[in-house]
Amino acid sequence: MALLRQKDNGAFSYLYDHYAGALHGVVKQIVTDSELANDVVQEVFINIWKKIDSYDESKGRLFTWMLNIARNASIDKTRSKSFQQSARQQTLSDNDMLTYTVRPGMDDYGLKKVLFKLKDEQRMLIELSYYQGFTHDQIAKALNIPLGTVKTRIRSALIQLRTLLT
């Protein structure tokens, strides 16, 4: 960790070798396009290198921190102009619902594999909040269910996710 903070090339190289695959897997699940996914992974590692000083060990493991950088960068990419052909930006459309309940492929990796074991309804909520980055509020409005219900359902899905993981 100290070596990383000093921006030691060797330490950073180890970080890449060890974690690039796992992060790439997550990025690909969000961005889907492999070219763009590579771009995002590049951005993610540059950001890790730039922001390593702001990493706070008391708040989580290094991998968790990197995972969140990767997730945010991927969601940003899906919302950026280069990714969007049509305006699908800030609002959830019915289309999103369809895409994320019946999207083929990509489901046999990492978290998604675990997600697949959840009920459809729970999976969709995790998809929307985790992979799409929509706020609970946006999801509640789009699905026309109370905010409290969205929160509870996501929580219960997350609890199940833990039992599936551990």
State the nearest-atom distance from the C-beta of 24 to other proteins, in Å: 4
Using the rule CB under 8 A, is 1 a contact of other proteins?
no
**Which listed residue (4, 26, 115, 150) binds other proteins by CB under 8 A?**
26
Question: Does the protein bind other proteins through residue 77 (CB under 8 A)?
Answer: no
Contact present, 70 and 40 (Cβ < 8 Å):
yes
- Gap between the Cα atoms of 52 and 44, Å rounded: 12
Q: What is the CA radius of gyration of the chain?
A: 17
Nearer to other proteins, 33 or 85 (CB): 33
Binding to other proteins by residue 31, rule CB under 8 A?
A: no
Contact between 111 and other proteins per CB under 8 A = yes
How far is the C-alpha of 40 from the C-alpha of 23, rounded, in Å?
10
Tell me if 61 contacts other proteins by CB under 8 A. yes
Q: What is the DSSP string of 46-74?
A: HHHHHHGGG--GGG--HHHHHHHHHHHHH
User: Which region holds residue 63: left if phi is over 0, alpha if psi is between -120 and 50, else beta?
Assistant: alpha
Question: Which residues of the chain form contacts with other proteins (CB under 8 A)?
Answer: 12-13, 16-17, 19-26, 28, 37-38, 41-42, 45-46, 49-50, 58-61, 63-64, 67-68, 71-72, 109-111, 113-114, 129-130, 136, 154-159, 161-162, 165-166
